[in-house]
Structure 1
Amino acid sequence: MGATMTQLIDPSAIHPAALELGRRFADAGHDLSLVGGPVRDLFLGRTALDLDFTTDATPDRTLEVVEGWADAVWEIGRAFGTIGLRKGRAQLEVTTYRAEAYEPGSRKPVVAFGDRLEDDLYRRDFTINAMALRLPDLELVDPHGGIRDLHAGVLRTPGTPEDSFSDDPLRMMRAARFAAQLEVEVAPEVEEAMTAMAQRIGIVSAERVREELVKLIRGARPRAGVDLMVRTGLADVVLPEVPALRLEVDEHHRHKDVYEHSLTVLEQAAALETGPDGPVPAPDFVLRFAALMHDVGKPATRRFEPSGAVSFRHHEVVGAKLTAKRMRALRFDNDTVKQVARLVELHMRFYGYGEAGWTDSAVRRYVRDAGDGLERLHRLTRADVTSRNRRKVARLAAAYDDLERRIAELSEQEELAAVRPELDGERIMAVLGVPPGPVVGRAYRFLLELRLDEGELGAEEAERRLRAWAAETL
């Protein structure tokens, strides 16, 4: 059983803005409580700059209380009872006690304000988020055993999970996200309800689902969150390309299926991220999501060869298209879509390097095609090696070490990451005496290929080659 009690909480662990705001509301005759994630994080030893509060004050009254105190105020959530504030570096949201639910078939919650803290806590998603700290007295209110469940590492709902997920189906995605972020296990009844109600996630807007998915992938244990989505059927609605991988056997016959391989690559890619000053600071969504999606083209490209082997020719190209399509459906921005899809498309480019070797021209093209994603591509390619054959793993690692060494050596000789023709468009037009148009584009591409094949030639030699090319082709 939970309880309302006075708990020994060090006031220095509470953000000063929260204590100040609590005193202002008390002086104005209103209740104010820190609630949800910030309270949970107090018991996890984490500090937060995004602080959520709940109050019996209406939004209009909240605005009166914070006038002259907050550095900035915004009212974008006013219709839902929420007033946003900024105090120094802290972001604060003050929400009137409320109850929230979806009408059948609706994508938007219907909001009704309440007048009791306990009722407000009952409508929250999980018990570990249904705790409040009354301010400024620091009285802990935990009617549903959130502290107990937090210590046990279990995710439960204050009421029945069926009622909770019916009120807001996005909570099923949050359950998967918390499994990844907080490394908690969902209670059996919660997973059962998620499985029975998974299709209901379809009424939630793509933008809200996307935000939860990003947090899940960036979590400490993303594999657990993805696997929960797949087990319960949430992924069939949100990310159907991933559960489809369970049906496929990968070409190396080293894994139970491509799905398990993809989860392993996700884990290994995350382990290769760097610190904040490194080239791929953790947690990196683009790298991790590309790792998860890198083989989604295999179901569509599977072929059974006469020898009995299974092939997946060009699955990286098909997979890049499927990945981009899914990300656009989830309303990702164009830049993120391009970055992830490009990594998926390029993840097979390295294979064969160790046996055949590459010319300097091929190395230049590898760098050019990867562009800003080169450091991520390095990590994705290394993470994609999940064989149990230690000799094979060592051979591939040595080959990729050699490729990175050659990239570094060539980079010392020329600015590889920004390979461009030695003549720009203006100079091309001047040399050939042509106006802007298709000829300039063709000449530019010729010079780019020349640059990639032979390296730096100098402007004078580039002009000579350009004139020779024009004499033969124009």
Structure 2
Amino acid sequence: MVSLPQGFPAGASVPDIVVELGEVFARAGHELSLVGGPVRDLFLGRSSPDLDFTTEATPDQITAAVEGWADAQWDIGRAFGTIGIRRGQHTLEVTTYRSEAYDAASRKPVVQFGESLEEDLLRRDFTVNAMALRLPSFELVDPHGGVRDLHAGVLRTPATAQESFSDDPLRMMRAARFAAQLGLRVAPEVREAMSDMADRLRIVSAERIQAELVKLICGADPRAGIDVMVETGLADIVLPEIPALKLTDDEHRRHKDVYQHSLQVMEQAAELETDADGPVPGPDFVLRFAALMHDVGKPKTRRFEPGGGVSFRHHDVVGAKLTRKRMQALKFDKESIRATSLLVELHMRFYGYGGQGWSDSAVRRYVTDAGDQLERLHRLTRSDVTTRNRKKANRLSHAYDDLEARISELQEKEELAKIRPHLNGEQIMQLLEIPPGPLVGRAYKFLLEHRMEHGPLEEAEAEHLLRQWAEDHL
């Protein structure tokens, strides 16, 4: 690591590879600057996972400059001016100065190469990302007051917000994301432009929006990011199920609305994440997003009862369907969709047994239905308790403690995660002397139900049970 000179925060440094690359470009007669997030993070005391550079050199000149120095190089997007470089363990990106904008009816930016670093910085999303470190001299270039805005904790744009968001509407999502990740307050004029231009987000691909949403949800303060999305109208386009919660009263009037309750559940779920060695390492997008979406079925299932109460029957099932549909629209992978929607569907399961005590049968079904999402379900269910009634909160917490104890107790005896029927399909066909077909499936289901209700049997007992069943079904 190379320490930075006076004028930078104490202890600020950059990897040796940054200086090496600057010297390579200087020898080739080209400018090079470290730019964007890595420079911003120097002032935040954060380590940046990416090293991004900008230069006046064209893509062909970039490849020529690093020839013989780089272990490998490739086009990340030559049309966008970006070349990827690998040197040892480092992967770097170098991009030609540029400006870009979206056509009003297009999802793809129109790219034009620029001629100066200042011009390149002007087209960047926010002032805190419009700073550069010239290499190898370490001269800070900050024409738009990025350091000032970082110290003030405010998010502004180098050009007008309208120009910035016209260039790339995804920047509106980034504003919400930076509120969640960095704790920055979105400037009033930026919020106003986001509200006015939110509909422009429709031209951005679902994949790009998804990437920003994941970073937001996994940020240090996802609640702040969701609030920005809802207050500016971005959520009406990206996650319309969330602002809809503001119109649905909580059935116990404990919260201002179900929206606030959902944000609190998401915060509490994040607090229950584990370290890297635990069962739910944080930040965990699936757990947090399931917590945010767990009550999205309430608006469609709200019913006013004769006594003045409000009910939301089956909102868990409806919410799971809505969650699945929204995640599909945002092009999430199948596993994330399955896991998240399953958690939403099961988040009320605990309350169906809470006052009855946990029979062995109920425990088996709970664990089997949760499958590989059991640890996340534990955390989601505990997080869903937001009552201010301390006595009630303690009672629910103790009830869930009891459930987890019952799961551990049965787990030791029966390997709950691997519950199968007493006999497999081949044994069923052999014992009943029947070919493959629907009858085998019905016998299999009968044995699985018996296993759930009564626990494991010895093989001889299971065979006797199956023969008894077959007398009424063959």
TM range (shorter): over 0.9
Aligned length: 470
* Per-residue deviation, residues 92-140 of structure 1 (Å, max 9, x unmatched): 1111100000011111100000110000000000000000011111111
Do 1:7 and 1:139's aligned partners in 2 also have CA atoms closer than 8 Å?
no
Which whole-Å CA distance do the structure 1 matches of 2:47 and 2:114 have between them?
29
Structure 1 window deviating more from structure 2 (433-442 vs 105-114): it is 433-442
Q: Which letter maps to 2:145? A: G
1:153 aligns with 2:153: yes
**Residue matched to 1:231:** 231
Do 2:125 and 2:157's aligned partners in 1 also have CA atoms closer than 8 Å?
yes
Which whole-Å CA distance do the structure 2 matches of 1:66 and 1:9 have between them?
31
**Residue matched to 2:203:** 203
**Residue matched to 2:272:** 272
Cα 1:10/1:97, change in 2 over 3 Å: farther
Gaps of 5+ in 1: none
SS of the counterpart of 1:111? strand
| Deviation, structure 1 residue 256 | 1.0
Which whole-Å CA distance do the structure 2 matches of 1:409 and 1:285 have between them?
30
Which whole-Å CA distance do the structure 1 matches of 2:297 and 2:89 have between them?
44
Structure ranking higher on relative contact order (CA contacts 8 Å, 6+ apart) = 1
Cα 1:6/1:55, change in 2 over 3 Å: farther
SS of the counterpart of 2:94? strand
Identity %: 70
| Deviation, structure 1 residue 8 | 4.6
| Deviation, structure 1 residue 212 | 0.3
**Residue matched to 2:107:** 107
| Deviation, structure 1 residue 12 | 7.6
Cα 1:7/1:27, change in 2 over 3 Å: farther
1:45 aligns with 2:29: no
**Residue matched to 1:457:** 457
**Residue matched to 2:302:** 302
Q: CA RMSD in A?
A: 1.6
* Per-residue deviation, residues 269-294 of structure 1 (Å, max 9, x unmatched): 11111111111111000000000000
Do 1:122 and 1:130's aligned partners in 2 also have CA atoms closer than 8 Å?
yes
**Aligned 1:52-451 pairs, distance under 5 A:** 52-451=52-451
Which whole-Å CA distance do the structure 1 matches of 2:449 and 2:68 have between them?
63
TM-score normalized by the length of structure 2: 0.96
Cα 1:391/1:106, change in 2 over 3 Å: same
| Deviation, structure 1 residue 400 | 0.4
Gaps of 5+ in 2: none
Do 2:54 and 2:95's aligned partners in 1 also have CA atoms closer than 8 Å?
yes
Which whole-Å CA distance do the structure 2 matches of 1:10 and 1:148 have between them?
17
**Residue matched to 2:30:** 30
| Deviation, structure 1 residue 432 | 2.4
Do 2:266 and 2:292's aligned partners in 1 also have CA atoms closer than 8 Å?
yes
Q: Which letter maps to 2:198? A: A
Cα 1:13/1:458, change in 2 over 3 Å: farther
Which whole-Å CA distance do the structure 2 matches of 1:437 and 1:256 have between them?
55
Cα 1:241/1:402, change in 2 over 3 Å: same
Which whole-Å CA distance do the structure 1 matches of 2:270 and 2:239 have between them?
20
Which whole-Å CA distance do the structure 2 matches of 1:20 and 1:435 have between them?
72
Which whole-Å CA distance do the structure 2 matches of 1:67 and 1:459 have between them?
70
Which whole-Å CA distance do the structure 2 matches of 1:249 and 1:9 have between them?
48
Structure 1 window deviating more from structure 2 (8-17 vs 356-365): it is 8-17
Which whole-Å CA distance do the structure 1 matches of 2:177 and 2:325 have between them?
23
